[in-house]
Amino acid sequence: MTSPARVLQRLFNSLFFRDSVMDQDIDYQELLQGKTLQVYWYLLTKGELGIRDLQKFLAVSSPGTVSYQIKKLVEAGLVSKNEQTDKYFIKEEIKTGILGFYIRFGYKLIPRFSIYIIVFFSGLGWLLFNIFLQGDAYLLDLNNLVFLFFLLFGIAVFSFESLRIRKILPE
């Protein structure tokens, strides 16, 4: 059953984006769940893999299970097969569900909150550098104490969120 919002979205896209390569009938949120998400995740993080490699990573007894999941991803246009090596690779990267919380650097997926932690640690480093140069009076200034509290609070919150996101990885 198609919702009115979905119908309006298709109408809008057909009017303004005639050459769109994305198939609007595919619900990626629904597709990328369970074993299918695990297969997609391993392809994102490991590169080109064959059916047997994926079977080993997923600890599945039957290659048919992996083939079924790969077939779903190929039909959705997310994965393609290298005919020369008989291995599969990511054709299109989707940021939906848990994948939306990660940034990809090569074959590494890191929580995007980690970027925020780096920014807050840089601010803390700058504050500590100025304290070293200007002495304790610099730290005892109310503005700098508020800034220090803000930095420490940000580091704590984003560290907690990064660890929480890492715990719900597809396994």
Name the pTM for this structure: 0.68
Q: Which of 18-32, 43-57, 75-89, 90-104 has the lowest mean pLDDT?
A: 18-32
Cα 15 to Cα 11: distance, rounded to the nearest angstrom: 6
HSE, side-chain direction, 13 A CA sphere, residue 120:
18
Average the pLDDT over each of 66-75, 94-103, 115-124, 148-157 and give the range with the smallest value: 94-103
CA distance 54 to 74: 15
Beta-carbon contacts of residue 126 (< 8 Å; ≥ 6 apart): none
Q: pLDDT > 90: what percent of the chain?
A: 22
**Mean pLDDT across 68-73:** 88
Give the model confidence (pLDDT) of 111-135 as tens digits: 888 889 999 999 999 999 999 999 8
